């Protein structure tokens, strides 16, 4: 587990409890993967100031919005998949295909990991308390999406 996951998890736990922990770990995971793609063998950790801020702020804000939207979708998907009390392979495959086509292949494994944690959280909290989480995610999606 890389440092971004630990830091994100700790901040998430302090801000939102167990569900915040999951969000923090997910965001930390995305941060770690972004850092791994930047610090690779080609540049060996060197800093090129001519390319450093070229669109970085826009890209970072877009990735943050994308990750928040992806997490909210996964919360909704976990609730829908578990609505009948069981997890079917066809439903999970549908989510995998959706993630692959809309967010790329790297999001599939992360999405599955987040879904499993959400299933455990839903079981731990109970259906009624998890409905509150789903309602909060719906409000977040509604406030961030233009029709």
Q: Are 28 and 51 in contact (CB under 8 A)?
A: no
Cβ of 97: how many Cβ atoms within 10 Å? 11
Backbone phi and psi for residue 4, each to the nearest 5 degrees, phi listed first: -60, -40
How do residues 47-94 score in pLDDT, each as one tens digit? 443 444 344 444 455 566 677 778 888 888 998 998 888 889 999 999
Three-state secondary structure readout of 33-96: HHHHHHCCCCCCCCCCHHHHCCCHHHHHHHHHHHHHHHHHHHHHHHHHHCCCCCCCHHHHHHHH
Q: Which of 12-26, 32-46, 111-125 is predicted least confidently?
A: 32-46
Mean pLDDT for 100-126 is 88
Mean pLDDT for 95-106 is 88
Please tell me whether residue 107 adopts helix, strand or coil conformation: helix
Residue 105 has what pLDDT? Answer: 86
Q: Are 62 and 33 in contact (CB under 8 A)?
A: no
Percent of the chain with pLDDT over 90: 10
> pTM here?
0.55
Backbone phi and psi for residue 139, each to the nearest 5 degrees, phi listed first: -65, -35
**142 pLDDT tier (thresholds 50, 70, 90):** confident
- What tokens appear for 4 in the block? 């971004």
């Amino acid at each position: 587990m890389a440092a971004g996951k630990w830091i994100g998890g700790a901040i998430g736990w302090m801000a939102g409890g167990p569900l915040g922990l999951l969000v923090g770990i997910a965001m930390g995971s995305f941060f770690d993967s972004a850092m791994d793609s930047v610090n690779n063998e080609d540049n060996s950790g060197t800093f090129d100031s001519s390319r450093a801020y070229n669109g970085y702020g826009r890209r970072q804000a877009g990735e943050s919005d994308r990750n928040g939207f992806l997490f909210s979708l996964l919360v909704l998907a976990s609730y829908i998949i578990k609505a009948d009390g069981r997890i079917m392979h066809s439903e999970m495959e549908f989510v995998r295909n959706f993630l692959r086509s809309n967010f790329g292949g790297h999001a599939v494994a992360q999405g599955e990991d987040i879904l499993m944690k959400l299933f455990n959280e839903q079981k731990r909290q109970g259906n009624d308390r998890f409905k509150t989480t789903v309602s909060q995610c719906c409000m977040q999606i509604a406030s961030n999406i233009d029709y």
